[in-house]
Amino acid sequence: MPTFLLISRHSPEHCPLFNEEKRKVNLAALGRVGEWSKRFGVKMVGAWSVPNEHLNLMVIEAPSLVAFQKSMMDPTIMAMTSSETTEIKVALNLEEISRR
């Protein structure tokens, strides 16, 4: 199953710690992770934040690139990421690399 790394940044004025509107949008999206996972067949492996850098990291497994792309087009996810700059990288674990 492909693994995707999402590396996103937001500006201080869009920080959910200080921006009430952004906090509501993010909490709504995070509250739907289970539903989102089932709908698109994806799995959020983990999520981390570096608050003082306004940096967020997510690791998501998906059955395919198409499934991942569709999951990211979900309106709730798009609302959460609309004020962020996001990099998406496909990652291989050590087992996959050693097989190659």
Write the CATH number for 93: 3.30.70.100
The domain containing residue 52 runs over which residues? 3-99
Number of compact structural domains in the chain: 1
pLDDT of residue 81: 92
pLDDT surpassing 90 at residue 44? yes
Q: Exposed, middle or buried, 2 (CB in 10 Å: 0-12/13-18/19+)?
A: middle
Q: 93: pLDDT confidence band, cut at 50, 70 and 90? A: confident
The pLDDT score that the predictor gives to residue 23 is 95
Q: What is the mean pLDDT of residues 68-78?
A: 94
What is the model's pTM? 0.86
Cα 63 to Cα 41: distance, rounded to the nearest angstrom: 7
